[in-house]
Amino acid sequence: MKRGLSFLWSGVLILSMMSGCSSEAAQQASPAPEPAQTSQTSNQDAEPQTVQTASSTENVDTESTVVFTDSVGREVKVPKEITKVAISGPLAQIVVFSVAPDKMIGIATPWSDVTENIMKPEYYNLPVLGQLYGGKGELNLETLLASGAQVVIDVGEPKETIVSDLDQLQEQTGIPFVHITANLDHMGDAYRLLGTLLDLQEEAEIRAVYCEETYLRTKELAGKVEKANLLYCLGDKGQNIIAKGSYHAEVIDLLSNNLAVVDKPVSKGTGNEVDMEQILNWNPDVILFAPDSIYDTVGADPAWQDISAIKNGKYYEVPNGPYNWMGFPPSAQRYLGMLWMSQLLYPEGANYDLYKEVSNYFKLFYHADLTEVQYEELISKSMPK
């Protein structure tokens, strides 16, 4: 987040100079706080600069406003009627888009190519503004400031200093920042709070109930089955794993015996790197490969042939579209991943029509009508042959 925000503050300065401000009127830059992060935030060491801009604050003050209390107890003055929303990153993108796609001024990262013919063009082609934190691109600040965004919404797991961080970001940009905490077992609460903020309570409640019911159904199934011995592998060698107990492993741990026990599970989506010897020692019965990993080649790779999952053909690629269904980023698409993983591992217990379940999800969360042909394409590498 530091790297991206360094672009944010320097961008404000550049825009101020372009608008014709004199050098005497330019404010002295001062060090910014370490910005707020969610669990998916990458660590960058560049120090941002801070510059005050009052234009958005003035807009808020002259409009009819209300006080919104976010998930970390911050009381933030926001417009009573919010029509233009900016989001902090892809996790927030997924949650906010499901409720209020027409309020979003843009997206943080592009949707996957495989969904170009699935999503409505006006949503698929939303401008890509970048993320507020570093790693996969910096926020297009000129577009953000010109867009009239009335609020910036951050969704995810808060860190200890998030209150002071967001307060200062809000002061420095002149735009209200709010945080909504979201995790696997309380996503319903996150949706309800978002519905309150955007005055879309009915839309939010539908998705809140969906997440709660899907989670409870999955948890009940997990309590009745003998869990499969499983690894989630990723990376160009397949030798990164999602470790048991990490934030990204919540669904994996819920539905399987995650063999990836390590001393220090990392919170990054890249997982923990291990060697081939360790994978052989774990010897999983099932392997899930991340999209763009080694699913297509592992069956012919001699190094993997003694592993039970490969030997017995029980390895699969996680469906991807518009994002990885297992939660990269760890957002609302994880409930879709629950439905897929439940039926993959325990078809007798999860004896529902997966196409109907997935198409219903796409309608609710992506505002898209998924055909059976499109569904088959999405799961072509993800189910038993």
End-to-end CA distance of the chain: 42
Amino acid letter, 141: L
- Residue holding tokens 């790297």? 3
With tokens 């101020």, the residue in question is 16
Distance of alpha carbon 302 from the chain centroid: 35
Residue written as token pair 């394409």:
377
Tens-binned pLDDT, residue by residue, of the chain (385 aa)? 444 444 444 444 333 333 333 333 333 333 334 444 443 333 333 333 333 344 444 444 555 999 999 999 999 999 999 999 999 899 999 999 999 999 999 999 999 998 999 999 999 999 998 887 545 557 766 677 778 899 999 998 888 888 988 898 788 778 999 999 998 989 999 999 999 999 999 999 999 999 999 999 999 999 999 999 999 999 999 999 999 999 899 999 999 999 999 999 997 889 999 999 999 999 999 999 999 999 999 999 999 999 999 999 999 999 999 999 998 889 999 999 999 999 999 999 999 999 999 999 999 999 999 999 999 999 999 999 8
3-state DSSP assignment of residue 99: helix
Nearest to 7 by CA among 46, 40, 57, 36: 46
Q: Show Cβ contacts of residue 139 under 8 Å, excluding neighbours closer than 6 positions.
A: 4, 7, 8, 11, 129, 130, 131, 132
Residue 179 in contact with residue 72, Cβ under 8 Å?
yes
Q: Which residues pair with 272 in a beta bridge?
A: 241
Peptide bond into 176 cis (omega under 30): no
Predicted pLDDT at 13: 36
- Outline where the chain has alpha helix (H): 2-18, 55-62, 90-99, 121-124, 141-147, 162-173, 187-198, 201-222, 250-255, 276-282, 295-298, 308-311, 334-345, 354-366, 372-378
Name the DSSP class of 382: T
* DSSP letter string, 12-62: HHHHHHHTT--TTTSPPPEEPPPPP--TTPPP--PPPEE----HHHHHHHH
Q: What residue type is 298 in one-letter code?
A: V
Between CA 365 and CA 98 the distance in angstroms is: 4
Please give the pLDDT value at position 344: 98
- Please report the domains of the chain, with CATH numbers, ordered by start residue: 2-201 (3.40.50.1980), 216-378 (3.40.50.1980)
Summarize pLDDT for 275-286 with one digit per residue, the tens. Answer: 999 999 999 999
- pTM, whole model, 2 decimals? 0.83
What per-residue confidence (pLDDT) applies to 385?
Answer: 80
Closest by CA to 86, choosing from 142, 153, 36, is 153
Separation CA 263–CA 241 (nearest Å): 13
Partners of 287 in the beta sheet?
231, 315
Pairing between β-strand 30-31 and β-strand 256-258 as defined by DSSP bridges: unpaired
Q: Could you tell me if 131 and 122 are in contact, meaning their C-beta atoms sit under 8 angstroms apart?
A: no
**Hey, CA dihedral for 361, 364, 366, 371, is it positive or negative?**
positive
324: DSSP letter: B
How do residues 330-362 score in pLDDT, each as one tens digit?
Answer: 999 999 999 999 999 999 999 999 999 999 999
Question: Could you tell me which residues are beta bridge partners of residue 179?
Answer: 154
